[in-house]
Amino acid sequence: MKYPEELVKPIREEVVRMGFAEARTPQDVQREIGADSRTVLVFVNSVCGCSAGIARPGLAKALAQGARPDKLLTTFAGVDTDATDYVRSLFPQYPPSSPQAALFKDGKVVAVIQRHQIEGSTADRVAALFNTVFDQHCAAVR
Amino acid sequence: MTKNCDLPLHGITVVVDTPGERLYIGRYHSENEEGILLQDADVRDLEPGTTKAEYLARSAKYGVFKNCDRVKVPHSEVRSVRRLIEYAESES
Q: Which tens digits make up the pLDDT trace of A72-82?
A: 999 999 999 99
Q: CB distance A95–B65 less than 8 Å? A: yes
**pLDDT confidence of residue B1:** 53
Of the two residues A93 and A34, the one the predictor is more confident about is: A93
Q: Just list the catalytic residues of A.
A: 48, 50
Comparing CB atoms, the residue among B60, B63, B83 nearest residue A95 is B63
In this prediction, does ipTM exceed 0.90? no
Q: A141 and A72 in contact (C-beta within 8 Å)?
A: no
Mean pLDDT of B24-32: 96
Look at residues B23, B67, B36, B56 and name the one whose alpha carbon lies nearest to residue A96: B67
Confidence of residue A49 (pLDDT cuts 50, 70, 90): confident
Q: CB distance A95–B64 less than 8 Å? A: yes
Q: Measured between beta carbons, which residues in chain A are less than 8 angstroms from residue B64?
A: 95, 97, 116
Mean pLDDT of A79-95: 96
Q: What is the pLDDT of residues B36-92, one digit of tens each?
A: 999 999 999 999 899 999 999 999 999 999 999 999 999 999 999 999 999 997 544
Buried b / exposed e along B23-33 (16+ C-beta atoms within 10 A): bbbbbbbbbee
Q: Note every long-range contact of B5-11, with CB atoms under 8 Å and residues 24 or more positions apart, other chains counting.
A: B7/B31, B9/B81, B9/B83, B11/A49, B11/A50, B11/A119, B11/A120
**pLDDT confidence of residue B92:** 40
**pLDDT confidence of residue A5:** 87
Asked if B63 reaches chain A (Cβ–Cβ under 8 Å), the answer is yes
Q: What is the CA radius of gyration of chain B?
A: 13
Of the two residues B6 and A30, the one the predictor is more confident about is: A30
Of the listed ranges A23-32, A83-92, B4-13, the least confidently predicted one is B4-13
Asked if B13 reaches chain A (Cβ–Cβ under 8 Å), the answer is yes
